[in-house]
Structure 1
């Protein structure tokens, strides 16, 4: 019985064990099926990720030879590596050494069996200097088995191609001019700073050109901004063609350009290049069906003698450009220390001018305007004067341009307008007062209101105020210009066109601009009485034009008494000039108007020798003192200069003046007034010698 029970128990246990084993086998099978399913799912997901995403995978053995690489990456490799199995990872990919954080190479990590992350690589076949077609980011780590043995590398990567293209476009937009494709201001600055960095403690030579287009604004205004943009593109092409590989050309904005020339500091080489650039840019352009001609001025600074850092070199090149434009444009100028001292002087002049305006340092003189028919004084022109407490009398020719540059001209012009109106309202006779208006004042929409306020405050009738406007206001001729003319005429004031014939000389605006008077520039009056001089014919033509348009005419700058009859004969209605006196103070005007009705001529009775009008810098020596002056005109026997602090007490002094570069000639001061002086040469000067002067020293102006 007992054996049977034992056998039964054994069979029961065996059955239970068998059932449990079967259940365990079933679970194992389920786990294997589940693992297989998960493995297949993972494979599918990896395949999907590799096929349609930006990521990919790779694997390498202990020697760094590729055992697996995603197919899409393999297809983008160079032909020898399209089947990369067995190839060294370092043969298939090369690193981008310019990327940050890649001081150690792939070969280092493979040999040292260390991890690396986000290394930028491309196919090794991209070595022809062009940008590779594809870029990737690659990461990897060593694989260690359960026994701690190194088995190889496994890693992943992602496609960087589109990101690099996007980054490159951002860089291009940040460093290149969108219109011309030239380097922009930021890139030029970076390149200049890099060029000026010392190497081995030695400063490297370099030169900088700053360029400004002449007459570009007129193209924009007449043909439109699209034509202006097309012109700038052609300018950029010409600049790059002339400069070539020797320098970097950039556009700073507007019509300003810059050329950086590393390792070039020879003046003759720079002069040749500057002249070639000016000549190239001065050739005609064909824009919007029209032929356009512009010019170019260039300022040059050389490192390290003109500056050893970017800020200093740019400043000095800009000062040289300022000098080039002041010398008549279409030329180049090298920086000199005198330019810097001149800039400092202008800044000091600006500061002093602001103080003078606030503290009452300016005053007005009034020059009579005389009728040729009755010889009566019909009005006065208000002339701005400044007696500096230290520098003495400063010529308007010196401080007015500075006032226009620094934005002070509107405040100064308004002070002149109000002061002249107040004075004229007190004069004993109802004569007119003329006030000069700068183009900047004229462009201010509030200008009519300022005129109205000045008339109302002074009580001066509008008909007694004459506003003198130069042709410069027509540079920006537009609907706003016409509206300004209408507004001013609606006030009842008179309008005079000043310095006619010396500016842009377009007769078209005389058809619509409501001028009451044309003022004939003194350059046409000077010498008109000389036999064979054509100025008389020009004056007659201007008078005929004015008469036809019912306008008066004033001949400016009449100095010699024999010119009075000539001007009268030619038909001018009025005369203004030293022949009837220089400017006088308001108190003297009151005395003059209370006296004789007719004005009496003064000064020389016979015209002097013909003079050549010019603008030229020169040295003037009085004893041991030397200074820079400007020659305004010259004849065989004398010259007129300005920019010099000479007063009436200097008349009769012996001086030396530089008529030809580095050659001084003896002369004597014949007269001095308002910052100008007349010199009489000790010996007659041969004017033909001026033609032999260096091109940079003389800038002639058409008369």
Structure 2
């Protein structure tokens, strides 16, 4: 059966040809073999690369595909329209219906997308004698579509990333406080429904700030990551480990039906954390304090449980750190007091509520003043005079001890300089020194500047450091204290006998004086054990060529015992209680007048 173009031109062929040749859409007619019978200008120029509309006649898509491939044989991934068009023609004839296709291929070095409509073409008897087709270049539309999809994908990824960041700790990848509270509420809902118990552990790393301050935050971050890995390895997959912030972590134990489960988990966690952390060239050891609460006994909602676990954790720290503590209801009031006092103490720095008292130090052999100790006091506007027993440990726990120490030093030196200028012979000014203070890089510069400002000779200054603080890190303590000693400042070990000093380290410390703690003086001379300890300290000081001073001396019996055993320097109520600056000045004047009267 033959097919003639005259079949298309029965009605106004010239008008039809004019119309189809100037349409922007590609138009064509093929026979059943796929040979072009008609092709308009848009098809020839935009797709087939034919020189005119006559060139495609009598040729099929395979011809143009082979020609295109030959022209781009150096490009192995070159796709031509010819291959796709031929296959879609067969589909139209086979299905005997109009069909829509989306076809793509390379044209003029660029990828082109076409939206194609094809339909069977029939003779007068209804037999399929070919196909007619129309195509439209939708490359730009597809590009816009791809760009939109890419943007939507990017936005979705960004949304997921932001959602992840909002609920997870960036450093460790653990759930943060927000996600922790959400999970805790979910676990509580299940526990409430099935009448089950759950536990929450509040973990705080001991002295972690010292790692950051001395070795840098990079080392500290690596410690936190390693800590996370170790703890995660010890808890069940149904449990949740979360980083609340800084060095604070929480664990939700969702199934504590086994009687020893909590203690076993804590033992395993403390065991793996006890092992050394090797970070670069640093071998570090860290401890942790853990507070434990159990639902529903210690709180019925997430906020109550977290608050009470925090209180239990602080109790563990107060009990000596590196241990765990179960919550009891009395802790809530204490925790509230601690938070309240901490807030008030920060205000006290700003409002200048800290004051300094001075307690004389006397040489019993001559009854002369040899110096004084500066003691911090807090004059609160509504609570009155607050004992240092309440706020000094709080300052140490909260990291405020460095600022507090410096305020006391500034006030003490300023007052001491005034007495020196008046010729009141105040002796040596002793001040308490926290080890955290000398770990600060600028401390030596601070004390130099302060002494220069007040025109005080270093030899008139002394610092007292507690034995327990020194022995936490004796090697570094020796190096830090040596820098102070090099200035000519007298160093003393305070509360001596209450810690566990090694004599080997004691010999290496650049100290000039030992101070016998008040706890050994209180029951002298009647308590045989205290008497023996006091004698031993006095003898040890003599053998090491150190001076020794006793604090907290209140009775004549204590004074006589100390004198007879070779301790001549004392401090305590038997001579004077801690005095305000005004009262201390009166004390100094009285001492001078007594000396004058003896002449």
**Alignment TM-score > 0.5, same fold:** yes
User: What corresponds to 1:498 in structure 2?
Assistant: 494
Q: 1:44 to 1:189 in 2, by over 3 A?
A: farther
* CA deviation profile, 1:456-494 (whole Å, cap 9, x unmatched): 4544443222222234366566779736633x3444332
User: What corresponds to 1:211 in structure 2?
Assistant: 203
Q: 1:38 to 1:584 in 2, by over 3 A?
A: same
1:379 aligns with 2:376: no
In the alignment, structure 2 segments of 5+ residues that lack a partner are 1-36, 38-51, 92-98, 102-114, 122-145, 147-152, 595-599
Q: Give me the whole-angstrom Cα distance separating, in 2, the residues matched to 1:583 and 1:553.
A: 20
User: What corresponds to 2:182 in structure 1?
Assistant: 193
- Conservation of the 8 A alpha-carbon contact between 1:377 and 1:598: no
TM-score normalised by structure 1 residue count: 0.53
* CA deviation profile, 1:200-230 (whole Å, cap 9, x unmatched): 9997785431213457789999999999999
User: What corresponds to 2:18 in structure 1?
Assistant: none
Q: 1:416 to 1:596 in 2, by over 3 A?
A: closer
User: What corresponds to 2:251 in structure 1?
Assistant: 259
User: What corresponds to 2:572 in structure 1?
Assistant: 577
Q: Give me the whole-angstrom Cα distance separating, in 1, the residues matched to 2:399 and 2:407.
A: 12
- Conservation of the 8 A alpha-carbon contact between 2:410 and 2:450: no
- Conservation of the 8 A alpha-carbon contact between 1:413 and 1:437: no
User: What corresponds to 1:438 in structure 2?
Assistant: 434
Q: 1:293 to 1:544 in 2, by over 3 A?
A: farther
Q: Give me the whole-angstrom Cα distance separating, in 1, the residues matched to 2:570 and 2:118.
A: 110
- Conservation of the 8 A alpha-carbon contact between 1:177 and 1:184: yes
- Conservation of the 8 A alpha-carbon contact between 2:363 and 2:570: yes
- Conservation of the 8 A alpha-carbon contact between 1:230 and 1:287: no
Which residue, 60, 66, 74 being the options, matches 1:37?
66
Residues 225-374 of structure 1 mapped to structure 2, 5 A cutoff: 239-240=231-232, 242-250=234-242, 256-262=248-254, 272-283=260-271, 285=275, 295-301=287-293, 306=299, 308=301, 314-334=306-326, 339=331, 342-374=334-366
- Conservation of the 8 A alpha-carbon contact between 1:196 and 1:206: no
Residues 447-462 of structure 1 mapped to structure 2, 5 A cutoff: 447-462=443-458
Residues 669-680 of structure 1 mapped to structure 2, 5 A cutoff: none
- Conservation of the 8 A alpha-carbon contact between 1:212 and 1:297: yes
* CA deviation profile, 1:105-145 (whole Å, cap 9, x unmatched): xxxxxxxx999xxxxxxxxxxxxxxxxxxxxxxxxxx9986
1:415 aligns with 2:405: no
Q: 1:196 to 1:203 in 2, by over 3 A?
A: farther
Q: Give me the whole-angstrom Cα distance separating, in 2, the residues matched to 1:490 and 1:334.
A: 47
Residues 36-55 of structure 1 mapped to structure 2, 5 A cutoff: 36-37=65-66, 48=77
Q: Which one has a bigger Cα radius of gyration?
A: 2
Q: Give me the whole-angstrom Cα distance separating, in 2, the residues matched to 1:389 and 1:458.
A: 29
Please report how far the alpha carbon of residue 396 of structure 1 lies from its aligned counterpart in structure 2 after TM superposition.
0.9
Which residue, 552, 555, 571 being the options, matches 2:550?
555
Please report how far the alpha carbon of residue 436 of structure 1 lies from its aligned counterpart in structure 2 after TM superposition.
1.6
Q: 1:492 to 1:114 in 2, by over 3 A?
A: farther
Q: Give me the whole-angstrom Cα distance separating, in 1, the residues matched to 2:546 and 2:519.
A: 20
- Conservation of the 8 A alpha-carbon contact between 2:471 and 2:501: no
Which residue, 565, 569, 587 being the options, matches 2:560?
565
Which residue, 142, 146, 167 being the options, matches 2:119?
146
Please report how far the alpha carbon of residue 366 of structure 1 lies from its aligned counterpart in structure 2 after TM superposition.
1.9
- Conservation of the 8 A alpha-carbon contact between 1:366 and 1:585: yes
TM-score normalised by structure 2 residue count: 0.61
Q: How much is the aligned-residue C-alpha RMSD, in angstroms?
A: 5.7
Q: Give me the whole-angstrom Cα distance separating, in 2, the residues matched to 1:352 and 1:220.
A: 27
In the alignment, structure 1 segments of 5+ residues that lack a partner are 1-20, 51-56, 62-66, 68-112, 116-141, 149-156, 158-162, 600-703
Q: 1:581 to 1:24 in 2, by over 3 A?
A: closer
- Conservation of the 8 A alpha-carbon contact between 2:354 and 2:408: no
Q: Give me the whole-angstrom Cα distance separating, in 2, the residues matched to 1:146 and 1:223.
A: 78
Q: Give me the whole-angstrom Cα distance separating, in 2, the residues matched to 1:573 and 1:49.
A: 102
Please report how far the alpha carbon of residue 394 of structure 1 lies from its aligned counterpart in structure 2 after TM superposition.
0.9
Which residue, 511, 518, 527 being the options, matches 1:515?
511
- Conservation of the 8 A alpha-carbon contact between 1:214 and 1:297: yes
- Conservation of the 8 A alpha-carbon contact between 2:514 and 2:547: yes
Please report how far the alpha carbon of residue 452 of structure 1 lies from its aligned counterpart in structure 2 after TM superposition.
3.8
User: What corresponds to 1:466 in structure 2?
Assistant: 462
More helix by proportion, 1 or 2?
Answer: 2
* CA deviation profile, 1:577-616 (whole Å, cap 9, x unmatched): 23333212333333334446899xxxxxxxxxxxxxxxxx
Q: 1:114 to 1:299 in 2, by over 3 A?
A: farther
